[in-house]
Structure 1
Amino acid sequence: MVIKKRKSIREQVYDYLKEEIVNGKIQEGSRIVEEEFAEKLNVSRTPLREALRMLEFEGLVEAREKGGVTVPKTTKKDVEEVVKIRIALEKVIFEDLFLKVTLEDIIKLEKNINKVNKIINDNLKSLEVFKYFSEFNKILYNISDLPRVVNLINNLNLYLKKFRKISAENTERRLNAHQDHIMIVKLIKEGKKMEAIEVNKKHLLEAKEFLIKQVEN
Structure 2
Amino acid sequence: MSTDPSRLADLPGLMRVESIGRDELVARCQELTLPAYPHQQIYGTYCTIQQHVECPPEQVYEYLRQGHHLEEWTYSLRDFEPSGVPGLWAGHDRLADDTRIYCRTVANPGALTVDYHCSWDQGEELWMIYLMRVIPAALVLGRSGSVVTWTNCRHPHYDRNPHPELAPRPDRPWVGDYWDLFYAGHTVEMNNLKTILEHRYAAGLPVSVPPVRAVAR
TM-score by length of 1: 0.26
Which is richer in helix? 1
